[in-house]
Amino acid sequence: MSQLNSQQQRIVSHLEGAALVIAGAGSGKTRVITHRAANLIKQGVPPGAILMVTFTNKAAEEMKRRIQDMAGGEANTRGLMAGTFHSMANRFLRRYGNLIGYDNNFTILDDTDSRDLFKAVIADMVPERQQSNGRKFPTAAVVQGVVSMGFNRGLELGELLERDYPWLIEWMPELEAVAAAYRARKKTSNSMDFDDLLDNWCHLLATCKNLEMAEKLRFVMVDEYQDTNLIQAEILALLAAKHGNIMAVGDDAQSIYGWRGANFRNILDFPERFGGQVFRLEQNYRSSPEILNLANHSINHNTEQFEKRLEAIRPAAGLPGMACLRDEYEEADYVLEKIMEFRDRDIPLSQMGVLYRNHAQSAVLQMRLSERGIPFQVRSGIKFFEQAHIKDVVSFLKVLFNPLDEIAWLRILKMLPGVGNVTARKIYGIFSRQRGVRLAPDNDELNKAVPAKAREQWKEFSLTMKALLADGVGPAEMISMVARGFYHTHLYSAFDNAPERANELEYLSEFASRYGSVERFLSQLALVGAAVIREYEEEQEDDPEFLILTSIHQAKGLEWDAVFLIGLADGRLPHARNLEPLPRLEEERRLFYVAVTRCKRFLELTVPLVSYTQGRAEICRPSRFVEELPTGALEVRQGSREAESLTPLLGQGPGLSVEW
DNA sequence: GAGAACCAGCTTTTT
DNA sequence: GCTGGTTCTC
| SS3 track for A89-136 | HHHHHHHHHHHHCCCCCCEEECHHHHHHHHHHHHHHHCHHHHCECCEC
Using the predicted structure, report yes or no on whether residue A543 has a pLDDT greater than 80.
no
Nucleotide nearest to A423 (CA to C1'): B1
Q: Is the pLDDT of residue A130 over 50?
A: no
Give A258 CA → B8 C1' in Å.
31
The mean predicted confidence, pLDDT, of chain A is 84
pLDDT of residue A119: 86
More confident residue, A275 or A530: A275
- Kindly determine whether the C-beta of residue A55 is less than 7 Å away from any atom of nucleic acid strand B: yes
pLDDT tens across A345-387, in order? 999 998 999 999 887 777 788 888 878 888 887 776 556 677 7
Predicted local distance difference test score (pLDDT) of residue A654: 37
Helices A85-96, A194-207: inter-axial angle, 10-degree rounding: 60
Q: Do A571 and A336 touch, CB atoms closer than 8 A?
A: no
Contact A594, A634 (CB under 8 A): no
A614 touches strand C (CB under 7 A): yes
Q: Which nucleotides of C are covered by protein (CB under 7 A)?
A: 1, 3-6
Taking the CA of residue A643 and the C1' sugar atom of nucleotide C3, their distance in angstroms comes to 35
Indicate the pLDDT class of residue A218, thresholds 50, 70 and 90.
Answer: very high
CB A356 within 8 A of CB A552: yes
Protein CA A138 to sugar C1' B5 (Å): 24
Q: Strand C closer than 7 Å to the CB of A129? A: no
Shortest CA to C1' contact from A119: nucleotide:
C4
Distance CA A207, CA A92 (A): 14
pLDDT at A128 over 60: no
Amino acid occupying residue A485: G
Q: Does the nearest atom of strand C lie within 7 Å of A119's Cβ? A: yes
Q: How far apart are CA A529 and CA A70, in angstroms?
A: 27
Which DSSP string corresponds to A482-493? HHHTHHHHHHHH
Which nucleotide has its C1' atom closest to residue A110's CA? Answer: B15
Judge whether residue A401 has pLDDT over 70. yes
User: Has residue A659 got a pLDDT over 50?
Assistant: no
Q: Does A489 contact strand C, using a CB cutoff of 7 Å?
A: no
Q: Which residue has the higher pLDDT, A658 or A580?
A: A580
Is the C-beta atom of A90 closer than 7 angstroms to strand B? Answer: no
Question: What pLDDT is recorded for position A639?
Answer: 65
Q: Assign A456 a pLDDT band (cuts: 50, 70, 90).
A: confident
Dist. CA A161–CA A311, nearest whole Å: 43
Strand C within 7 A of A141 CB: yes
Cβ-based contacts (< 7 Å) between A 575-634 and strand B: 575, 577-578, 613-614
Q: What nucleotides of chain B have any atom within 7 angstroms of a protein Cβ?
A: 1-3, 10-15
- The C1' atom of B13 and the CA atom of A475 lie apart, in whole Å, by 32
Q: Of residues A429 and A544, which shows the higher confidence score?
A: A429
Is the CB atom of residue A105 positioned under 7 angstroms from any atom of strand C? no
pLDDT of residue A131: 47
pLDDT: which is higher, A428 or A637: A428
**DSSP H helices in A154-220:** 157-164, 172-188, 194-207, 212-216
- A343-402 residues near strand B (Cβ < 7 Å): 357-360, 380-381
Please write the tens of the pLDDT for every residue from A589-635: 999 999 999 999 999 999 888 876 655 667 788 889 998 888 888 88
C-alpha–C-alpha distance, residues A201 and A189, integer Å: 18
